[in-house]
A and B are shown apart, each in its own frame.
Chain A
């Protein structure tokens, strides 16, 4: 009896600890991977900031979680009823403890709010005057992109559109959007019909595109590469297929792409970069 009890108890502790560590390990194994929309594998200033502030909240949260969950298991093991007629002392409370566990979390949360606000105001500031501008419009069920400062041979802004896609791997239908890496980009976001939400998670968190409203914000892409995004706000039948792919170019490549777009081609700009839709697996 005296031997079995402590082992049962420590087995419970070990089990609980392993379970928690397992869950946390799971979280991190996932977050390290290089998947197309991983909010941890960030490639731009806004996303870096957002990851920083998330981790700043997540670590204390995991700490509190372990404290509470392990605490629950230990309390249940330690204070479990051993005799049917056992009646504990009737403790009604402790004002000092109450004040402590009200004030300390309040202070901790207020401390957390300071970096949160500073990053919020940075992410929310107006784009710089020399930022590269792109107009994005969401509609059922695709994204339209317009480069107001990049004119084609006829003097009209270059626009990109895809086939409205409902396929799950809608990449084939979506245009390949070229954007310059390493400089601030001003996004002017609109919606034509219903609410959509513009998310390229490795560059920046989502922003809603609301009909009748124009949302202006800045993003930045660190280095050349391919980035994926899709609509985040439920927008009806084709929501799942409303994806987009961004090709971030260095200055030379971007200028080359712009020059290519400026070639008078008749259909220039509307269907470029979109190969024939491939059958999805």
Chain B
């Protein structure tokens, strides 16, 4: 069935282009693409768009809290804004942005031409986009011209019984639960795809312990995804039955239990935290060695601490629930497990410092963001240790101290790590370096703005300020800290503007980055920028960890690295692959069609059941066409 394209004349690249027609040009090519790099770009661009939305929501929150007793935004709108801010940043920004990096990099880093299931991959992107748009459409279901937003307003955590039909009667929570359900489908598809890709598609010689750390973290994250998403899916289905069909899973009046929701939500929610942070840890573990020109310190320890975190993340969920009255013994057990998860996290931090120690550190923007990650994540981790002190957590539970803690982990951690990755790999996929001057400005503005926003929250929290209050009185001693936080938020917003300008300016610049602008260590830097659709003309044979580094450098008698004389091993990989057939999957619009089925079904569930079969029909049309479509185009 597959066609051997490489036998065409004269060169393979031209042959590919001829065979695939205009499949690399125009909007149609993007809608039907199954190329992991393009899907990665789509993921990244969509996630960045949602990042701007979530950021605007955050700014509105901070505008409202800038002074006590402010009435700019009313309680109802405020509740919907913070619900959407949390939901957006977690499910529509950090997760898909991490996924963008998985998509872009995993095949390149393990020496593969594509992911295991390219069309499943396109499917997971389109489902994600459908879910994200569906979730945000909820804003317009209220009477928006009278300033009434329709978005969910029961918190990103949807606690029962507040999120029940009785206490949240409008459709906001319905959009929320179906939106998350749709996004879960995307995450599951993508999780399975990357597990199979990493386990089965590695180039010859690329043993698991020669894989770049980012590939390892992708593997761990993917396993967490496929085990965590079903948990929330079950919880969301139960919520659906409660809200739509008058079931009583969480209704205490009818013998249900609102705490059941919390257990399921956090049993998903805590692994989710590591789903958000492990990819960024992987990115940092790539950036630090490159910019220090040293291998990652203690590679096996960093790998195993990542795996350990993956396992332990399943045994700490009750630390979100210390104050719910589960009993002292349960709290003690989970307090100890929470304390212990700090150990593998600490191991990673020390290993990153060990990587920098003795290196030759180039203070470029990717490194600044990576170091910013280590510095800020450390603070977030340490405030996490104070949370594991169960009795003292009773004081901080649901205060701004917690808000400070998880923003240090998820913004100072994940977002800084993701920006590090954007600056680092941008030249690989665009052949343009992001401007260094604007990059440094972006970093410092964001670093200062971040600390100005979130450090004072430790203090307002310790002064007893609860989360999720739309306003506060002036006699509580919280005004100064909130003023600082609000100013900081605008500094962060400025830094994002600088970033956008930087991207536009850099893309328009004529200067090319070349295949290896940073003196990289891993396989993706061995191929041209941007990589050709088939990635590798010839599948590389891997001989060592940091294989590309070893192609460029060897060691003299004293163990000092010296550059390999030109014409050495590097050349070998640049042989044109003539005579070798390259099997490339054909573009397909069926994943897109299948994905469109989901929001139709969800809309039907909320407004009119007659739409549900329509959505199911669309989904099955997509899957049917997909199943019977040849994987690669027929030869002409």
Contact = CB atoms under 8 A, between A and B. Distances in A.
B15 interface: no
Given A23-B455, A50-B395, A75-B353, A234 B468 contact: yes
Contact of A79 (B339, B356, B392, B553): B356
A56 interface: yes
A50 B362 contact: no
Contacts of B374: 68, 72
Interface stretch (A202-210, A250-258, A268-276): A202-210
Contact of B346 (A101, A168, A231, A234): A101
A20 to B, nearest CB: 11
A108 B414 CA distance: 27
Interface stretch (A149-157, A174-182, A192-200, A259-267): A192-200
A62 B385 CA distance: 11
B336 A113 contact: yes
Contact of B397 (A51, A171, A206): A206
Nearest to A110: B339
Contact of A68 (B332, B342, B375, B455): B375
Interface string A162-185: 000010110100000000000000
Nearest to B347: A102
Given A76-B356, A195-B161, A240-B470, A211 B476 contact: no
A112 to B, nearest CB: 7
A123 interface: yes
Contacts of A68: 349, 353, 374-375, 378
Interface string B456-500: 101100111111111111111110010000000000000000000
Contact of A88 (B79, B159, B294, B353): B294
B343 A117 contact: no
Given A72-B371, A80-B363, A234-B468, A61 B294 contact: no
B466 A199 contact: yes
Given A31-B462, A117-B332, A197-B397, A53 B391 contact: yes
B301 interface: yes
B379 A79 contact: no
Most chain A CB inside 10 Å of its own CB: which residue of B361, B458, B459: B361
Interface string B351-393: 1011011111111000000010011001100110110111111
Contacts of B476: 35-37
Contact of B395 (A90, A206, A230): A206
Contacts of A113: 335-336, 339
15 contacts: A27-B459, A30-B481, A31-B463, A35-B478, A37-B465, A38-B462, A76-B361, A76-B363, A79-B361, A121-B332, A169-B475, A199-B464, A210-B325, A215-B325, A236-B79
Given A212-B252, A212-B253, 17 more contacts: A23-B455, A39-B395, A50-B395, A61-B383, A72-B353, A87-B560, A110-B339, A116-B391, A195-B258, A205-B393, A208-B323, A211-B252, A212-B257, A232-B397, A234-B467, A236-B79, A239-B75
